[in-house]
Each structure stands twice: as C-alpha cells, then as structure tokens.
Amino acid sequence: MAPEPRANPLLLGHEAAETVLLEAIRSGRIHHAWLITGPDGVGKATLAYRFARRMLAGMSSDNCLALDPQHPVFRRVAAGAHADLHTVERAYDEKRRRMRTQIAVEHIRGVSSFMSLTPAEGGWRVAIVDGAEEMNQSAANALLKILEEPPQRAILLLACAAPGRLLPTIRSRCRRLRLNPLPPEAMERLLADYLPDLSADDRGRLITLAEGSPGRALLLAQEEGLAIAGLVNEVLAALPGLKPQRAYAMADTLARGDTAFSNFMELLRAGIAAAVRDVARGRGDEEQARLVALRPLDAWGDVWHALTKLQDETERFNLDKRQAVVAGLGMLSGTMA
C-alpha cells in the first residue's frame, strides 16, 4: 500500500503543477499561500509535502521538487519531527471512534502562532492544512486573518477537494493549483508499485472505478471495493425489477462493515453518473443505454441528488445504514418515495 502523504516520495501525473512550483522557487517570488485543489485521493497532500520538503531542504542542482527518502529532511518530515513544518487535518475523536467532521478554530490558531515565529533552521516555515474545506466558520475566519497579514518567510499550503466551500476571500488570497485526475498510464504504474500482488485484471477494474484517483483506488482495494462494485453492477443491471428479498440481503451485507455503506453509495452514484454522461455524449454501451432509458435525464439528476442526501444524513446523524440501503434501492426501483 502507499505510504502516508508526508512519507510518500512518489508523485505521478502532476508535472505541470510541479513546474509551476519550481518556477516560483527559482524566481525568488514565492506566493505566501497556495490552494491545491482536485478530487479526493488525486495527490494534493502528497504534492503539498513534496513542496514543503523542498522548501525546507533548499533547492537542488537538478531543479527538482523530489527529495531522496534518505535525506534528513525527508525523514524528519515523514516522522512529523521537523521544527519548521506544521500540519493540520481533521482529528480523530476518541470518544466516538471516528474522524471529526470539522477542523476546529484552535487548530488554525496553532497555525497562526507557528507561522509568526522565526524559522528554527534559518530558512522557511511551512504550514499544511489538509482537507481545508472541513474548517468550521470560526476556523475559516482565523485562517483569513493569517492571509490578510502573512508573516515573512512563511508559506501556507491548503489541500482542498471542495474549494467552493471555502470563503471567497480565502480563495482570492491564494495562488491556485488544480490537480486533474490521473491518466490510465499513470494509474497503472502507481497501482503496480503499490499493489504488486493484485492481478492485472483487478488493477484494471480499480483504475476504472477510481476515475483517476490513486487514493480512491487504494481505498477500494483495501476495503473490498471490487466486491462492492460487483453489487452495484448487479443493482443497475436488475433495474427496474430488483427483487425486495435481494435488496434486503444486500442491505444486511453492507450494514456490517465500517466503510461498505459509504463505498456502495459512492460507487452507485458514480455508476449512474457515468451511464448518463456516456449516453448523453453518444458513447454509452447497450447496458448503459437501457438503464438511462428508464427515466428522463433530468430525473436521473434528481435521483443522484437524493442518494447523495441520503448518504450524507445517514453518516452525519449515525442513522441505520441497513434502512438507508433499502431506501436508496427503493428510490432506484421506484418502489419507495
């Protein structure tokens, strides 16, 4: 499996973004804040740490962001032990035994305190906020104050999958780097490296399901995503006649695991979206055409949003996952409102 972003030396498919950062370093005019956006799992945090390590280690003669994993700076960053690097991400809630849903204001105040200090090693101070879209309102306001009065020789890196959820004033004060989904060739190389024991056929299925996100592919590989994708295919192929007994059996299976419900709902929506998109562009296969013909195109959009709302409310309020699966399959079959 892939190492955590702070310890990952491998980044493929984002050469254009790396070139932008290298040119900023070489010019000596490095913007104080960068907003790195793109889909979940595409490499945003990996790029942020790659940039941070280069700023902390100094520019190399080969003009490259990559740093040897044996380099002292790489090893200290990987261990979370570099005095001039501060990171923030959603914390783990020990009481509820799950990740917190928000980044709280005290964590961003810690960024402010850190960035106002003189670099301990005479170079730069770098702060990374991973999942910046998860900041609550107070945290966002605290971050805005940092951006309004940026400290000297300090860089703020925001990794964000949903930049539209950030304050417009935050977005306007950052230089933006957009990371696009990886092409199949890069996905194949990464998965061959991270999942060498997986068959080529299964890697190919993961590449299709992940839609250019290596992080998503690895998550699916770890959490029985291929088996869940098989259930999604079964559901879509059976519509509109999915039998209630089968729906309840699927619900029982998906409600047992910690992540099976989330993966199923996300893959189900992705399958619907891909079918509608491909048919609308004249590229759909026979099965996709059959599925899409069951409803008007705008009605599929309503179903997609209803499934999204169902998943969000189920996870946010810790509702019965089994009942949510049954309700979602009922929406698709037209047997429930």
Tens-level pLDDT at each residue, the chain (337 residues):
789 999 999 999 999 999 999 999 999 889 999 999 999 999 999 999 999 999 999 987 778 899 999 999 999 999 999 999 999 987 555 554 445 568 999 999 999 999 999 999 989 999 999 999 999 999 999 999 999 999 999 999 999 999 999 999 999 999 999 999 999 999 999 999 999 999 999 999 999 999 999 999 998 998 889 999 999 999 999 999 999 999 999 999 999 887 899 999 999 999 999 999 999 999 999 999 999 999 998 899 999 999 999 999 998 888 999 999 999 999 998 754 3
CB contact at 8 A, 336 and 303: no
What pLDDT was estimated at residue 62?
78
What pLDDT was estimated at residue 271?
94
Between the alpha carbon of residue 269 and those of residues 99, 160, 233, 276, 332, the distances in Å are 23, 22, 12, 11, 11
Q: Where are the alpha helices (DSSP H) in the chain?
A: 15-27, 44-57, 72-78, 105-115, 137-148, 168-172, 184-194, 200-210, 214-222, 225-238, 244-254, 260-280, 286-292, 297-316, 321-333
CB contact at 8 A, 161 and 37: yes
Report the Cα 113 to chain-centroid distance in Å.
28
What pLDDT was estimated at residue 266?
93
- DSSP symbol at 11: -
For the CA atoms of 73, 75, 80, 83, the dihedral, rounded to the nearest 10 degrees, stands at -30
Residue 155, Cβ neighbours under 10 Å: how many?
21
What pLDDT was estimated at residue 142?
97
Residues 6+ apart with CB under 8 A from 253: 231, 260
- In angstroms, the CA 117 to CA 231 distance is 53
- In angstroms, the CA 331 to CA 306 distance is 8
What pLDDT was estimated at residue 256?
87
